[in-house]
């Protein structure tokens, strides 16, 4: 999943957060990490699932579902083909959240379905409800009849007015991290993988798609069948339905979108086939058949979701200049790191996101050049430094200790994305690409279609890279990256020459009120503008904001990455002229990363809090449940203070630390 989008196109690229200090984060780790257990002795426990996959595992899932837009409900059956590993096990335990469980049945030795006893435990606010099915005879298949709740945390139902075309309702899922259990009862843990098939009925005017073998030529008739032949973890289970049409990009790639969006999306994502070819040249064949993209309404809470064969993408990256298409490089990279080799538990999320961010950077460099890759590394690492100023040390470890996360949605993005990628960049620099690249390709091959832990990664790294090339990297250095907070002092440093120009322009303007020459700023892409804004002090004077806005039209920008930096700065500075466009932006966009910084700035003052509540009341029907929960919590926890007057003239100062964007 990518809420943080860092790659770019030839035109430009976006960036994430930072001031202008480009030095590595200060070391915060101890010199001698504690020894870690070997993978062979490791006991793998998923704290966020009730399932017991050491006793019985789902090998295949067959769904037979009906979509009802009027009821905002999916109803039908889920049938599990099971492998019983413990002969003494008498129960199948599944994860659910707000599901109406109507019946459980088992397939007996005579091939007959017989009813099984089941029980639902008390609901946990994070984990949901444990479903226990009595199955002492170890049936090879169990079938559950159920229906979802209209408030399912993993589904969003949109009225026609909330879509691009304004004529047809829309529904889509978001299963990661543990939201699949809200629309399918299942063993909702990445510890296990399963194949799946589905038969889905829907209104005849709704095209249904899943993270499976979608046929670009499928008839829209309200009756659809799907098959996913490769084994996937539960968080990659995905479904969508609405007024969707297909347009080809290449021989194995294309875009699904609403009719009014499909041409714009296809043009924006035109480099997709080149990205696939580039990734294959680095890390081996793409193993999932097709790679298509589904462009969702702007209420999608994330930048993208790497559902196999069908990446879900936010339309907020479609701005007409390809400057935000890093989303594609990131989600495509998940086809190797995450979808192919998967973290076994949320404690090891960096194995997905950190490795993917590293691979994304290599795709960027290969297609768009070293300068672009360097800018992205600088932006990423500056953001990490800002987040680590306040982040608890226990969340700065790549491999989290048990009990660190109560809710898996609360991972530190800086850690799992940026520190994870930085670690692999450290290994690459030490060993050289001629050694490291074949090792990483071998890693993907060795663990293909498996779910692994950090300890297993560590063992493979030791035996297949470090032991074979002695005196390059020590295991003590490896363990400092994996098990200690902070960034080790030997982390490689990257500089960006292009950002030197941005920094000089900002400093000169702060001191003289003279805007940089238009010939300079006309060449800037999204990354340069993000870096320009991120380096500003915490507040600016009204005259300064007005000057910037008149010159660069930040208020009302269609670029969400710029908006998420400009509107908080405007709000902290009391720049009321931005309020109308700010409100429209918050009502239109539901992507958490883009809107949460602005909500945070608003709730800091009494009048801003009132404005935030009014905007949220209008925006809420179009927000995804995940986004709704985030905004509700921020408003509920707000402690507003009266805004301080901003002086009319500000002297050059070091930028104040900014909160890291929610991703």
331 among known catalytic residues: yes
pLDDT above 90 (res 655): no
pLDDT above 70 (res 428): yes
pLDDT of residue 643: 65
Number of Cβ atoms within 10 Å of the Cβ of 302: 25
Mean pLDDT across the chain, nearest whole number?
90
Q: Cα Rg for the chain, rounded, in angstroms?
A: 25
* 179 and 153 Cβ atoms separated by less than 8 Å: yes
Tell me the pLDDT band of 433, cut-offs 50, 70 and 90.
Answer: very high
Rounded distance between C-alpha atoms, residue 375 and residue 12, angstroms:
11
Please write the tens of the pLDDT for every residue from 209-229. 999 999 999 999 999 999 999
Q: Give the tokens for residue 326.
A: 């890093």
Rounded distance between C-alpha atoms, residue 129 and residue 135, angstroms:
19
pLDDT of residue 333: 97
Catalytic residue among 105, 258, 331, 387: 331
pLDDT of residue 319: 82
Rounded distance between C-alpha atoms, residue 543 and residue 539, angstroms:
12
pLDDT of residue 455: 97
Rounded distance between C-alpha atoms, residue 123 and residue 153, angstroms:
14
Please write the tens of the pLDDT for every residue from 382-410. 889 989 999 999 999 999 999 999 999 88
Rounded distance between C-alpha atoms, residue 567 and residue 652, angstroms:
21
- Please tell me which residue, 25 or 242, carries the higher pLDDT value: 242
Tell me the pLDDT band of 648, cut-offs 50, 70 and 90.
Answer: low
**CATH number, span 39-45+339-483:** 1.10.390.10
Nearest to 173 by CA among 198, 191, 194: 198
Interior/surface letters 352-369, b for 16+ CB within 10 angstroms, e for the rest: bbbbbbbbbbbbbbbbbe
Q: In the chain, where are the structural domains located? A: 39-45+339-483, 497-636
Catalytic residue among 291, 302, 417, 483: 417
Nearest to 423 by CA among 436, 442, 404: 436
pLDDT of residue 310: 97
Please tell me what DSSP assigns to residue 637: T
Please write the tens of the pLDDT for every residue from 19-54. 333 223 333 333 333 334 344 446 899 999 999 999
Length of the chain: 663
**Percent of the chain whose predicted confidence (pLDDT) is above 90:** 79
pLDDT of residue 13: 31
Long-range own/partner contacts, residues 271-276 (CB < 8 A, 24 or more apart): 271/9, 271/322, 271/325, 271/328, 271/367, 272/328, 272/332, 273/249, 274/367, 275/328, 275/329, 275/332, 275/363, 275/367, 276/250, 276/252, 276/332
Q: Give the class (CATH, top level) of 497-636.
A: mainly alpha
Rounded distance between C-alpha atoms, residue 44 and residue 83, angstroms:
19
- Please tell me which residue, 423 or 656, carries the higher pLDDT value: 423
Nearest to 73 by CA among 144, 150, 145: 150
Rounded distance between C-alpha atoms, residue 47 and residue 176, angstroms:
15
pTM: 0.87
Strand partners, 68: 73
- Strands in 251-402 per DSSP E: 253-257, 291-295, 304-305, 310-313, 341-343
> Which residues are CB-contacts of 522 (< 8 A; sequence separation ≥ 6)?
none
- Please tell me which residue, 304 or 575, carries the higher pLDDT value: 575
β-strand pairing of 239-242 with 253-257? unpaired
Q: What is the pLDDT averaged over residues 536-545?
A: 96
């Amino acid at each position: 999943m990518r809420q943080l989008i860092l790659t770019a196109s030839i035109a430009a690229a976006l960036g994430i957060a930072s001031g202008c200090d480009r030095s590595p984060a200060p070391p915060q780790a101890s010199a001698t990490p504690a020894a870690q257990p070997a993978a062979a002795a490791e006991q793998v426990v998923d704290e966020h699932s009730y399932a017991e996959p050491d006793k019985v595992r789902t090998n295949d899932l067959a769904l037979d579902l009906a979509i009802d837009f009027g009821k905002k409900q999916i109803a039908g059956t889920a049938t599990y083909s099971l492998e019983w590993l413990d002969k003494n096990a008498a129960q199948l335990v599944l994860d659910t959240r707000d599901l109406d469980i109507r019946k459980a049945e088992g397939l007996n030795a005579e091939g007959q379905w017989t009813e099984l006893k089941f029980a639902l435990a008390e609901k946990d606010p994070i984990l949901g409800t444990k479903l226990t099915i009595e199955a002492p005879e170890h049936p090879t298949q169990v079938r559950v009849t159920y229906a979802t709740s209209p408030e399912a945390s993993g589904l969003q139902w949109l009225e026609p007015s909330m879509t691009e075309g304004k004529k047809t309702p829309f529904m889509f899922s978001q299963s990661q991290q543990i939201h699949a259990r809200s629309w399918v009862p299942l063993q909702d843990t990445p510890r296990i993988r399963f194949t799946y098939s589905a038969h889905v009925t829907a209104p005849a005017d709704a095209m249904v798609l899943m993270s499976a073998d979608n046929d670009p030529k499928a008839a829209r008739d309200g009756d659809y069948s799907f098959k996913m032949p490769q084994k996937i973890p539960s968080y990659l289970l995905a479904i969508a339905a609405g007024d969707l049409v297909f347009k080809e990009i290449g021989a194995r790639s294309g875009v699904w979108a609403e009719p009014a969006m499909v041409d714009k999306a296809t043009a924006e994502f035109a480099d997709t086939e080149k990205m696939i070819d580039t990734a294959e040249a680095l890390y081996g064949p793409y193993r999932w058949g097709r790679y298509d993209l589904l462009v969702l309404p702007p209420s999608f809470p994330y930048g993208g979701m790497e559902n196999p064969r069908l990446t879900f993408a936010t339309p907020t990256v479609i701005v007409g200049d390809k400057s935000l298409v890093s989303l594609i490089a990131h989600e495509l990279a998940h086809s190797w790191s995450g979808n192919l080799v998967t973290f076994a538990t949320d404690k090891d999320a960096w194995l997905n996101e950190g490795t993917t961010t590293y691979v994304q950077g290599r795709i960027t460099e290969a297609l768009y050049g070293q300068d672009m890759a360097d800018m992205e590394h600088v932006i990423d690492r500056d953001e990490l430094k800002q987040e680590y100023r306040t982040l608890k040390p226990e969340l700065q470890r790549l491999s989290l200790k048990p009990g660190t996360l109560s809710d898996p949605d609360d991972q530190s993005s800086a850690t799992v994305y940026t520190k994870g990628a930085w670690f692999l960049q450290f290994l690459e620099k030490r060993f050289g690409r001629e050694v490291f690249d074949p090792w990483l390709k071998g890693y993907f091959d060795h663990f293909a279609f498996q779910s692994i832990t950090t300890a297993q990664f560590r063992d493979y790294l030791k035996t297949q890279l470090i032991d074979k090339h002695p005196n390059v990297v020590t295991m003590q250095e490896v363990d400092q990256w994996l098990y200690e907070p902070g960034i080790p002092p030997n982390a490689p440093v990257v500089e960006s020459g292009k950002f030197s120009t941005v920094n000089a322009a900002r400093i000169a303007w702060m001191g003289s009120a003279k805007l940089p020459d238009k010939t300079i700023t006309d060449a800037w892409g999204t990354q340069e503008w993000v870096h320009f804004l991120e380096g500003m002090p915490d507040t600016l004077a009204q005259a300064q904001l007005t000057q910037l806005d008149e010159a660069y039209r930040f208020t009302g920008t269609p670029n969400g990455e710029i908006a998420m930096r400009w509107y908080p700065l405007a709000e902290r500075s009391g720049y009321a002229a931005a309020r109308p466009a700010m409100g429209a932006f918050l009502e239109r966009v539901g992507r958490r990363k883009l809107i949460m910084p602005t909500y945070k700035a608003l709730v800091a003052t009494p009048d801003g809090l009132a404005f935030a509540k009014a905007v949220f009341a209008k925006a809420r029907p179009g927000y995804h449940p995940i986004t709704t929960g985030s905004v509700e919590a921020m408003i509920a926890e707000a402690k507003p203070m009266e805004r301080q007057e901003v002086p009319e003239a500000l002297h050059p100062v070091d930028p104040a630390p900014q909160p890291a964007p929610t991703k």
